[in-house]
Amino acid sequence: MRKQYLKLLSTIFTCCLVLCARQGVAADTAAVTDLGKRVAALTREVQLLEDQNAIEILQRTYGFYMDKALWTQAADLFTVDGTLEIGPSGVFTGKARVRDYLLSLGQEGPQEGRLIDQMQLQPVIHIAADGNSAKGRWRSLVMAGQHQGQAWWGSVIYENEYRNEGGVWKIAKLHGYNILYSDYAKGWAESAVASIGPEQPLAPDLPPSTGHHSYPEKFFVPFHYQNPVTGTSVDMDTATPELSPVEPDELGQTLSDLDTRLERLNDVQSIERLQHAYGYYLDKQQWDTLANLVAEDGTIEIAQRGVYAGKKRVRDNLDLYGEQGVHNGVLHNHIQLQPVIHIGTDGKTAHARARALSMLGTYGGAGVWGASVYENEYVKESGIWKFKHDHLYTTMFTTYNEGWAAAPRAAPGVNKDNPPDLPPSVVYEAFPKTHIPPFHYPHPVTGVEVRAP
């Protein structure tokens, strides 16, 4: 996407040169009309980039709502006539029936002892030329289970459709193909089922739209798009709309607006890169380098360890996670996933909700799984984005051998030898207890603040 930004910005610059060259002289009608067409085409390209960002936010938010069994909020992401089809369960038609299906999965809202993390990953999105519909392929990695019961790995491929209604993107069709569900203790080499869910599933409105097989049986999930190198067509029934040139007296303002919109899109990418870099530095315990990602007055709050305020104190906090540098026999992977980023109206502040999947351990010792959610703040200083508040909420922390259903561990607390400057800003308990890290943004369709039921 960065190359697209540079290409578009170059076009804006060229257009501006043409405008400047024509100031104070008689307008060449053909040239001005051509410029208006180029700006109109540029506007459409920028809109498509914004639409892709909105669809990614929509689907990733669906995952965050599903994690906490926010069934009503998840159903409200659908169009009124939207459909849902998961595995062999059949098709549920209409927003109300989507909610009925979700409610059949269990009590609404987070429940003690229940884990249903559903990571939304690997998007391939194509937006129709008219900007009114889109299709997306996604992967979901599922960590599910019941405390002191059974734990599951799950793998799902989505082939979804989306609709733009009045400038708001919604899910028109959610179709999840269950690739694998496997008992955690046995692993996928010894255990596989078609799906997990209630013993008496809700009857669908329609039978499954396709034959469905899960591992170990072979099954190919059809792609909505062709090979991006050998073929260019995408399965969409829309023609490219005819664009009207931007009027000459609107060119200046339109170019200015496009410049701002592109800057905001670039800001989103910059923050995503910043968060990814944070994860890579964390992997290899590069504490000095990681601390330099933080503003001078920035803070860090990991799990229930409390708040460390200021860059120097952020660096002190990092010593809690081991000695700086790369060490033999130490695994410290922190995979950064599923970012939902919003830029402030001033263009200098931002918030992001994201997910971390942690793989920790020492060779010959204990291995650990961790699942967490970030609600972070960022600040732009001299054109560079930095962390303002790095706040990680622990969902689950458990040993590799026993898994999340059998042997959960409490979130780390305050360290007396390296105490924080402030106590934890939010007090909670990790799995098997439950909590909802507060959302920095309202529901992307209804605009309503999201709270626990």
For residue 423, how far is the Cα from the chain centroid?
A: 29
Residue among 87, 67, 66 at smallest CA distance from 195: 87
Distance CA 93, CA 135 (A): 18
Looking from the CA of 85 toward its CB, the CA atoms found within 13 Å total: 21
Domain boundary among 201, 227, 253: 227
One domain, residues 62 and 205? yes
> Does residue 281 sit in the same domain as residue 217?
no
How many residues would you count in the chain? 453
Do residues 291 and 221 share a domain?
Answer: no
Same domain, 288 and 179: no
Shared domain check, 220 and 87 = yes
Q: Residue 434 and residue 428: Cα distance in Å, rounded?
A: 8
Q: Specify whether 18 is located in the same domain as 71.
A: yes
SS3 sequence of 311-375: HHHHHHHHHHHCCCCCCCCEEEEEEEEEEEEEECCCCCEEEEEEEEEEEEEECCCCEEEEEEEEE
Residue 306 domain-assigned (yes or no): yes
Is residue 250, in this structure, part of any structural domain at all? no
Which pLDDT score, from 0 to 100, does residue 17 have?
55
181 within domain boundaries: yes
Same structural domain, 162 and 301: no
Judgement on whether residues 205 and 292 belong to the same structural domain of the protein: no
Distance CA 193, CA 88 (A): 11
Tell me: do 109 and 21 sit in the same domain: yes
Please check whether residue 240 lies inside any domain of the structure: no
Q: In what order do the strands lie in the sheet with 91-93?
A: 91-93, 78-86, 168-183, 151-165, 133-146, 114-127
CA dihedral (325, 410, 403, 112) positive or negative: negative
DSSP conformational letter for 193: B
Do residues 221 and 366 both lie within one domain?
Answer: no
The answer to whether position 217 is within a domain reads yes
- Tell me the C-alpha to C-alpha distance, in Å, between residue 426 and each of 200, 301, 338, 352: 38, 10, 22, 17
Helix, coil or strand: residue 100 = helix
Question: How confident is the model at residue 3, as a pLDDT?
Answer: 47
Rounded CA-CA distance 215/107 in Å is 29
Statement to judge: residues 387 and 280 lie in one domain: yes
Residue span of the structural domain in which 88 resides: 2-227
- Residue 93 CA to residue 88 CA, distance in Å, equals 15
Tell me, yes or no, whether 415 lies in a domain: no
In a domain, 363, yes or no: yes
Cα gap 351→357, rounded to integer Å: 20
Which residue blocks in 68-126 are alpha helix, DSSP H?
71-75, 95-104
* Parts of the chain with a pLDDT under 70: 1-28, 199-200, 232-240, 407, 453
Domain count, the chain: 2
Answer yes or no: is 236 within a domain: no
Q: What does the alpha-carbon distance between residue 283 and residue 315 come to, in Å, rounded to a whole number?
A: 15
Residue at which a domain ends, from 227, 250, 278: 227
Residue 404 near residue 434, CB atoms below 8 Å: no
* Residue where one domain finishes, among candidates 371, 388, 406: 406
Neighbours of 190 (CB within 10 A): 9
Run of H or E including 394: strand 384-399
pLDDT at position 237: 62
CATH number at 185 reads 3.10.450.50
CA dihedral 65, 68, 73, 77 (to 10 degrees): 20
List, edge to edge, every strand of the sheet that includes 349-362.
308-309, 294-302, 384-399, 367-381, 349-362, 330-343
List, in order, residues 6 or more apart from 299 with CB less than 8 Å away. 307, 308, 309, 310, 314, 388, 389, 390, 391
Instruction: Give the per-residue pLDDT at 23.
Output: 55
- Measured CA to CA, the distance from residue 315 to residue 309 in angstroms comes to 10
| Model pLDDT for residues 232-258, shown as the tens digit of each residue | 666 666 666 777 777 777 878 888 899
Name the strand (E) or helix (H) holding 144.
Answer: strand 133-146
Beta-ladder partners of 387: 294, 378
pTM of the full predicted structure? 0.92
E strand or H helix at 42: helix 29-67
| DSSP secondary structure letter of residue 229 | T
Query: CB of 311 within 8 A of CB of 360?
Result: no
Closest CA to 282 of 229, 333, 330: 333
207 shares its domain with 283? no
